[in-house]
Amino acid sequence: MSDLSLILTAVGSIFLLLFLVMKVRLHAVVSLILVSMIAGLFSGMSPEIIAATIQKGMAGTLGFVAVVVALGAMFGKVMEETGALDRIAHTLLHRFGEKNANWALTFTGFICALPLFFDVAVVLLIGIVFAVVRKGGGSVVKIGIGLLAGIASCQAFLIPAPGPILVASQLGADYGYMILFGLIAAIPAMIIGGPIWGSIISKSIHVELPQHEQIDDNQRVGKGTPSFGLALGLIALPLIMISLNTIGSRFVEKDSDLYNWLAFIGHPFTAILVACLMAFYLLGARRGVPNARIMEICGSALQPAGIIILVTGAGGVFKQVLVDSGVGTALGNYLAGSGLPIVILAFVLSAAVRVIQGSATVAMLTACGLIIPMLQPLGLDGAQLAAVTIAIGGGSIVLSHVNDSGFWLASRYLGLSEMQTLKTWTVMETIIGTVGALVAMIISLFL
């Protein structure tokens, strides 16, 4: 099948998916799996391979997301019902003021997301958004977009966030310049896409606090309210544990016992599990809450989490079909002869892969693999390669839509319809990616 036919098939499947979800109002899980099958058939995949790819995409996505979202939901719900998240929210509002709460959440997300995958950061921190809204009465959209912008900017441009560090290592970019250029790109992108855009769009889009987050202070469990230090420490615990993995991967000899233990301790599964157990004890048993009550809270957290897990898994199915059909390679072949400057080409290629298959990490790595052969004759130094890496990161997050797990996390957690998510989350991601890439292009002119 020709490259152009593959690209047209992918584009057509995206429009069909948007039509089914937003016009026909077919459930997202059904729509994603149905369109995945249609895309596979039209791209020339054999029926038995399509079935295997659907299984592979669902398993590959849920293998990570299901554990993280389930454990994170229980952790967040216990933190919430015991008043720990409200304590953090109260302190943030006291320090920054209610009018600046979205700024506080933006920088919270930006800093805390450094060692995490995007999904993990959202699951761990989203409860603070609801707590701030409960305490300050602000807008879910305004506060939520602020937090998500901080997380997204960090994940796109800064090392040691997983995506940028992988691309930088494969391209051979200078890590010192990556930190410098990443900050120069991320900070304005985060501010424009988060507090500024969130404040603008929240004037026209309003959603109520999700029903399961509407908790009266009289419904809190346990004696008294947890201290700010305890609440913040429980949030920081998994972040610190995961950071150990990042440190180990850079400074400890690979395959050594210490390296292997740090990898285990710092894996998101281990880190969030330990955070759950500590929350159960410090916020539950130690404060006189019966274990049966804590387990009841955990059970109530899994119902909304289940929907998020299934929709995210179905998004992984669509992504896998598009990846296995060869669309990424087709895009690379199509754009390689365009004659664009290498930084612009890196952004466009990454953005095109992102739009078609959804995953920011896959877009980064696919664009990286396709652009490496083009870089070799140019003899770029470490600083120039860092600018290319930033451009790839910017392209990897633009135009997020219904084939992206982040789209559904934002939609389901914030209680947004698909159209509202396109107007808020998608525009936010596009602002961040475009601003960051423009900064990379400007930097490249001076290198």
pLDDT digits (tens), the chain, 447 positions? 677 788 788 778 878 877 887 778 787 788 888 988 998 898 888 888 998 888 888 887 677 778 877 887 788 788 878 878 777 777 877 788 878 888 988 988 887 776 566 777 787 778 888 888 887 767 889 999 999 999 899 888 987 666 787 778 778 888 778 888 988 999 999 999 999 999 999 899 888 776 655 555 555 555 667 888 898 888 788 878 877 776 776 677 877 888 888 888 888 788 889 989 999 999 888 888 888 888 988 888 787 677 767 776 776 777 677 777 776 567 666 666 666 788 888 898 888 878 876 777 767 766 776 777 677 677 777 788 989 999 999 998 998 887 787 888 888 888 888 889 999 999 999 999 999 999 999 998 887
Does residue 233 fall inside a structural domain?
yes
Q: Per-residue DSSP letters for 364-385?
A: HHHHHHHHHHHHGGGT--HHHH
Q: Per-residue DSSP letters for 80-93?
A: HHTTHHHHHHHHHH
Which domain covers residue 239, as residue numbers?
63-160+222-304
Q: Which residues contact 309 (CB under 8 A, 6 or more apart)?
A: 62, 65, 66, 69, 70
Does residue 81 fall inside a structural domain?
yes
CA dist., res. 328 & res. 66, Å (int): 26
* Burial label, 436 (beta-carbon count in 10 A; 0-12, 13-18, 19+): buried
Integer-rounded Cα Rg, in Å, for the chain is 22
Does residue 407 fall inside a structural domain?
no
Q: 343: which 2 tokens?
A: 């930084």
Q: Which residues contact 16 (CB under 8 A, 6 or more apart)?
A: 35, 38
CA dist., res. 441 & res. 374, Å (int): 17
Q: For 290-326, what is each residue's pLDDT tens digit?
A: 888 889 888 887 876 777 677 767 767 776 777 777 7
Whether 165 and 154 have beta carbons less than 8 Å apart is answered as no
Q: Is the pTM higher than 0.95?
A: no
Does residue 299 fall inside a structural domain?
yes
Q: Which residues of 280-300 are buried (b: 16+ CB within 10 A; e: fewer)?
A: bebbbeebebeeeebeebbee
CA dist., res. 372 & res. 47, Å (int): 33
Does residue 272 fall inside a structural domain?
yes
Helix then strand then coil, in percent of the chain rounded to 5, is 80, 0, 20
Does residue 195 fall inside a structural domain?
no
Does residue 296 fall inside a structural domain?
yes
Domain count, the chain: 1
Q: For 69-106, what is each residue's pLDDT tens digit?
A: 788 778 878 887 887 877 777 787 778 887 888 898 89
Q: 111: which 2 tokens?
A: 């800093």
